Amino acid sequence: MRILLIGKTGQLGESLIRLNNNHEIVAPSREVLDLRDVNSIRKSISTLSPDIIINTAAFHNLPECETHPLQAFSYNFVAVQNLSLICKEYNKFLISFSTDYVFDGTKQTPYNENDPINPLQIYGLSKAAGELAVFKHCPDSSIIIRTCGLYGITGSKSRGGNFVDNRISDASQYAELEISSDQTVTPTFTDDLANALFKVIKHRDALVGILHLVNEGSCTWADFTKEIYRQMGLTNLVIPINREGYSGTMKRPAYSVLNNVRAKALGITLPHWNDALNRFISSKYKNY
């Protein structure tokens, strides 16, 4: 099966390429396929003739989304809408990614795929708009995968790493750290997400629509940091702090745990976040 992967330099893109074992993954550079260029998208799809298009690209630096909303919507909505229209034109199956930030966090129990969305910030609004665009144009030939708190071996270039990398870096500079305790999430290892995605591809016709794919369990960012340090053998003090969901003036959902209902019904599950963290640290920081 030929897969056109958009976003090969991201954390998830790297995991998909590294863990692939039975697909032909074609992953053009941004110079060849620029999501903001309709002609670039059309040329790549018509030339490469993939069976499936996987879009992992996004504008996901949350503070920058707030200060540059047009850029956020350009990437997360307009580009996704154009991609959807061209997939419809060429009759291609599209898998694109969304976020737990489409929810407002008031539910206090894990969000199912059919729960109503209510984003609180520009990032969530732009991703929600992208979801709607996909389902408007490719309702019978697309999957939107919502996930949460991604961290991968390569780190995120736009964020200067990922949460785990940044907390380990902090440990070398600070004996004590104040970490948010007011958000409950499910951090997700991109290797586990990639492996689950390959299974989703096999069952794609049965899974058209929205999927939630995250590691099992939940924790606050403070609890996650404590576990990072415990597994790393670090003695830094983590001080939980309640910011009431705010980062500056931007509001984050207090509770955005996703419930993997539809994929789990077909036997597609991800390991617990604690186990995922252990494998990530063992792989990336074994010589720490």
d(CA 129, CA 214): 21
d(CA 170, CA 173): 5
- CA angle centred on 48, ends 43 and 52, rounded to 5°: 105
Residues 6+ away with beta carbon under 8 Å from 248: 63, 66
Q: Which CATH class is domain 2-159+186-218+254-270?
A: alpha beta
Q: Shortest CA distance to 54 belongs to which of 31, 85, 80, 72?
A: 80
pLDDT of 250 reads: 81
Strand duo 250-251 + 246-247: pairing: antiparallel
pLDDT of 243 reads: 80
d(CA 194, CA 190): 6
| Contact predicate 35/75, CB 8 Å | yes
pLDDT in tens, the chain (288 residues): 899 999 999 999 999 999 998 999 999 988 899 898 999 999 999 999 999 999 999 998 889 999 999 999 999 999 999 999 999 999 999 999 999 999 999 998 999 999 999 999 999 999 999 999 999 999 999 999 999 999 999 877 656 679 999 999 999 999 999 999 999 999 999 999 999 999 999 999 999 999 999 999 999 999 999 999 999 999 999 999 998 766 667 889 999 999 999 999 999 999 999 999 999 999 998 776
The residue extents of the domains of the chain are 2-159+186-218+254-270
- CA angle centred on 74, ends 92 and 107, rounded to 5°: 85
Cβ count near 162 (within 10 Å): 20
Structure tokens at 27: 């992953």
**Tell me, what DSSP letter sits at residue 102?**
G
pLDDT of 196 reads: 98
| Contact predicate 258/110, CB 8 Å | yes
Q: How far is CA 172 from CA 148, 175, 177, 235, 282, in A?
A: 27, 8, 11, 11, 19
